[in-house]
Amino acid sequence: MPLTIRHILLVLFALVPSIAHADWKAVETVQTYAIRGASGIELYRSIGENGPKAGPGRAIAFTDFKLTWRRNYVPQNGGCTLVSAVPNLTLIYRLPKPSGTLPPAVRQSWEIFIEGVRRHEKTHGEMIVDMVRQIEAASVGFSVPDDPKCSKIREQLTQKLGQLSLAQRQKSRDFDRAELSDGGVVHQLILNLANGP
């Protein structure tokens, strides 16, 4: 084999890991739901009536996501290897928005409240991005022997990655519990809004 071709092949093989772990970025979208009120307590009551459903009650805000993958499974030596997995992640933040003009003092109080709520939801978004990066790291290079049609690997991968999803959900619940508990960041935001002008 000529030296130049050998060098080209070595360069191509060196590039495979960087190709397999593609650079990607989550897309963020914000959806709002309308609330009404001319005071902090009225706005908070409207949130309770119109907020997104979460379990038995309603939430102030909610972070959801849509995730699809472009995966490349390659049969190798009678088995199958996942050589690349590129996520397409959209984060969806659902936030309250007053439908009318607020009095100046209430508007100022509202802006402090909603900025804190945005920060809280962005943290949920960061947790989801972290989970997707962990899934990517655990997926690429995953191999299953005796799987020439690349059918077993999908089932085994789903089982393996399920633990990462469960861990993210638990982390998210723990974060909410801390922020909504007495003295927590979101709890303080609620009190300041409801007890303000």
Please provide the average confidence, as pLDDT, over all residues in the chain. 89
**Is the model's pLDDT at 131 over the cut of 50?**
yes
Confidence of residue 15 (pLDDT cuts 50, 70, 90): very low
Using one digit for the tens of pLDDT, what is the confidence trace for 91-117? 999 999 999 899 999 999 999 999 999
pLDDT reported for residue 2: 43
Confidence of residue 54 (pLDDT cuts 50, 70, 90): confident
pTM of the model: 0.84
- Average pLDDT of span 26-47: 97
114 vs 136: CA distance, rounded Å: 33
Contact by Cβ (8 Å): 20, 84 = yes
Nearest to 172 by CA among 114, 119, 121: 121
pLDDT reported for residue 19: 39
pLDDT reported for residue 6: 34
pLDDT reported for residue 22: 60
Confidence of residue 23 (pLDDT cuts 50, 70, 90): confident
